[in-house]
């Protein structure tokens, strides 16, 4: 997309420079400019781009294929998560989300007060947490590790600090919880 954009910008600027520097000659053909370049060229680029976007979008949509389901509840200002724990039982945590690597995760996102937005930049996707409804976002992390997440919708005074972590573990190797704070993160 970046290369394509750069090419289009360069193309337009070269046309402009050429128009400027061109020696006196015959006039311009209106249809070449408006219909040819304006409609034809642009439509060709757009159809390709929108089609590609739709295809990618469909792939990362939540489907009912037995993905791991976790819940994220946003509030001013923090996150509460419910995920399968080490023993398979639901585990509730604050500000930290534990998910296994290599499997699709459906995150059910909601909010208790104002609109927030769930976003883990390195894992992609972003979904608003809207009071009164549950939105589902699908993520998949391939590599175990700790990923940073944040609130991406302005939500008042504590917005800048509304961060959380996503700990991605090897399936079956749930990390040791004893050295991590998992509750009462309200300071």
Distance of alpha carbon 169 from alpha carbon 140, whole angstroms: 12
Least CB distance to other proteins at residue 11 (A): 10
Measured in degrees and rounded to the nearest 5, phi and psi for residue 117 equal -145, 130
C-beta of residue 88 within 8 angstroms of C-beta of residue 159: no
- How many CB atoms neighbour CB 80 within 10 A? 19
Q: Which of 3, 19, 64, 184 binds other proteins (CB under 8 A)?
A: 19
Does residue number 131 form part of the binding site for other proteins (CB under 8 A)? yes
Q: Interface with other proteins by CB under 8 A: which range of 29-37, 64-72, 84-92, 174-182?
A: 29-37
* Residue 86 vs 138, nearer CB to other proteins: 138
* Residue 67 vs 91, nearer CB to other proteins: 67
Tallying the residues shown for the chain, one arrives at: 187
Distance of alpha carbon 143 from alpha carbon 137, whole angstroms: 19
* Residue 8 vs 173, nearer CB to other proteins: 8
Distance of alpha carbon 152 from alpha carbon 120, whole angstroms: 9
Measured in degrees and rounded to the nearest 5, phi and psi for residue 47 equal -60, -45
Site of interaction with other proteins (CB under 8 A): 1, 5, 8-9, 12-13, 15-16, 18-20, 22, 24, 27-28, 30, 32-35, 37-39, 41-43, 46, 49-50, 52-54, 56-58, 60-61, 76, 113-115, 117, 119, 121-122, 124-128, 130-133, 135-136, 148, 150-160, 163
């Amino acid at each position: 997309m970046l290369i394509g954009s750069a090419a289009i910008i360069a193309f337009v600027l070269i046309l402009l420079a050429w128009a400027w520097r061109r020696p006196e000659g015959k006039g311009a053909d209106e249809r070449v400019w408006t219909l040819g370049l304006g409609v034809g060229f642009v439509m060709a680029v757009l159809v390709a781009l929108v089609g590609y976007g739709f295809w990618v979008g469909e792939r990362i949509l939540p489907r009912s294929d037995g993905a791991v389901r976790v819940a994220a509840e946003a509030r001013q200002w923090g996150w509460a998560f419910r995920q399968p724990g080490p023993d398979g039982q639901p585990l509730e945590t604050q500000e930290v989300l534990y998910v296994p690597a290599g499997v699709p995760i459906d995150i059910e996102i909601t909010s208790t007060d104002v609109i927030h937005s769930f976003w883990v930049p390195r894992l992609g996707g972003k979904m608003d947490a809207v009071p009164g409804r549950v939105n589902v976002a699908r993520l998949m992390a391939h590599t175990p590790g700790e990923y940073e997440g944040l609130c991406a919708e302005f939500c008042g005074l504590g917005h800048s600090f509304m961060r959380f972590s996503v700990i991605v573990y090897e399936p079956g190797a749930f990390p040791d919880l004893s050295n991590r704070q998992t509750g009462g993160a309200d300071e």
